[in-house]
Structure 1
Amino acid sequence: MSDKESNDEVEVISERLQAATTIDSAYNNAQQQQQQGKSSRRNSSNNGANGQSVDGKKSCSATTTTTTTIDDYVLVRNIPELNLPEKIILVIDTVREQKFTPFKFGTGATFSPLYMIKRAVENFICAKATIQPGVHEYALMSLDSQGAFWLCDYTSNIKTVVNHLEGIAEDVLEEEQRTYDLGQLFETIHARTATPAMNRPMFVSRVILIYGRSNSIPKFRTGHKYLENLTENPCSFLDVLFVHEPASDDNMCEAVYAEIAALDTTNYSYIFEVGRNPAKLHDNMAKLLAHPLQRPLQKDASYTFISNAQEVHTNV
Structure 2
Amino acid sequence: MTDKQDSNDEIQSISLKFQSFSTADPNLNPQEQSKITQPVPKMNISTSTHSLQDGKKSSVSDDNLPVRNLPELNLPEKIIFVIDTVKEHDCTSFKLGTGAKYTPLFMIKRVVEIFVSAKSMLQRRHEFALMTLDSQAAHWVCDFTSNVKSILNYLDTITEDTLEEEQKTYDLGQAFEKIRTHAHLPATGDSFVPPTFVTRVILIYSRSHCVPKFQTSDKDFEQLTENPYFFLDSLFVHEPPSSENKCDEAYAELTALDTKNFSYILEVGRNATKLHDNMAKLMAHPLQRPVQKDTCYTIHTSTTSQEVHTNV
Contact 1:187 1:223 in 2 (8 A): no
Unaligned runs of 5+ in 2: 1-43, 302-306
Alignment match of 2:138 (pick from 111, 125, 148): 148
Secondary structure of the corresponding residue to residue 107 of structure 1: coil
User: What is the distance in 1 between the residues matched to 2:254 and 2:91?
Assistant: 20
User: What is the distance in 2 between the residues matched to 1:187 and 1:92?
Assistant: 15
Output aligned runs, 1:196-211, within 5 Å.
Answer: 196-198=186-188, 199=190, 200=193, 201-211=195-205
Contact 1:178 1:217 in 2 (8 A): yes
What is aligned with 1:45? Answer: none
Contact 1:98 1:174 in 2 (8 A): no
Secondary structure of the corresponding residue to residue 82 of structure 2: strand
* CA distances 1:125-180 after superposition (whole Å, capped 9, x unpaired): 00101111x21000000000011000000000001100000000000112110000
What is aligned with 2:27? Answer: none
The sequence identity of aligned pairs, in percent, is 58
* CA distances 1:190-233 after superposition (whole Å, capped 9, x unpaired): 11100111233111000000000000000001231111111221
User: What is the distance in 1 between the residues matched to 2:208 and 2:51?
Assistant: 26
What is aligned with 2:286? Answer: 292
Q: Give 1:109's aligned amino acid.
A: A
What is aligned with 1:96? Answer: 87
* CA distances 1:71-127 after superposition (whole Å, capped 9, x unpaired): 333221111100111000001000000111000011111001100000010000001
Contact 1:98 1:173 in 2 (8 A): yes
TM-score for both structures, normalised by structure 1: 0.79
Matching of residue 221 in structure 1 with residue 211 in structure 2 = no
Matching of residue 63 in structure 1 with residue 55 in structure 2 = yes
Q: Give 2:51's aligned amino acid.
A: S
Change in 2 beyond 3 A, CA 1:103/1:271: same
The root-mean-square deviation of aligned C-alpha atoms, in Å, is 1.7
Unaligned runs of 5+ in 1: 1-49
Secondary structure of the corresponding residue to residue 256 of structure 1: helix
What is aligned with 1:84? Answer: 75
Q: Larger relative CO (CA 8 A, sep 6+): 1 or 2?
A: 2
User: What is the distance in 1 between the residues matched to 2:104 and 2:276?
Assistant: 13
Contact 2:297 2:311 in 1 (8 A): no
What is aligned with 1:123? Answer: 114
Contact 2:202 2:233 in 1 (8 A): yes
Alignment match of 2:98 (pick from 94, 107, 132): 107
Matching of residue 174 in structure 1 with residue 164 in structure 2 = yes
TM-score for both structures, normalised by structure 2: 0.80
Change in 2 beyond 3 A, CA 1:68/1:146: same
Contact 2:298 2:311 in 1 (8 A): no
Deviation at 1:311, TM superposition (A): 4.4
User: What is the distance in 1 between the residues matched to 2:228 and 2:160?
Assistant: 34
Alignment length (residue pairs): 260
Contact 1:68 1:75 in 2 (8 A): yes
Q: Give 1:161's aligned amino acid.
A: I
Secondary structure of the corresponding residue to residue 296 of structure 2: coil
What is aligned with 2:276? Answer: 282
Alignment match of 1:303 (pick from 280, 289, 297): 297
Deviation at 1:62, TM superposition (A): 5.1
User: What is the distance in 1 between the residues matched to 2:180 and 2:249?
Assistant: 26
| Deviation larger for 190-199 or 162-171 | 190-199
Deviation at 1:66, TM superposition (A): 2.2
Deviation at 1:248, TM superposition (A): 1.3
Q: Give 1:273's aligned amino acid.
A: E
User: What is the distance in 2 between the residues matched to 1:300 and 1:292?
Assistant: 14
Compare the two structures and name the one with the higher helix fraction: 1
* CA distances 1:1-51 after superposition (whole Å, capped 9, x unpaired): xxxxxxxxxxxxxxxxxxxxxxxxxxxxxxxxxxxxxxxxxxxxxxxxx93
Alignment match of 1:233 (pick from 227, 236, 261): 227
User: What is the distance in 1 between the residues matched to 2:91 and 2:56?
Assistant: 44
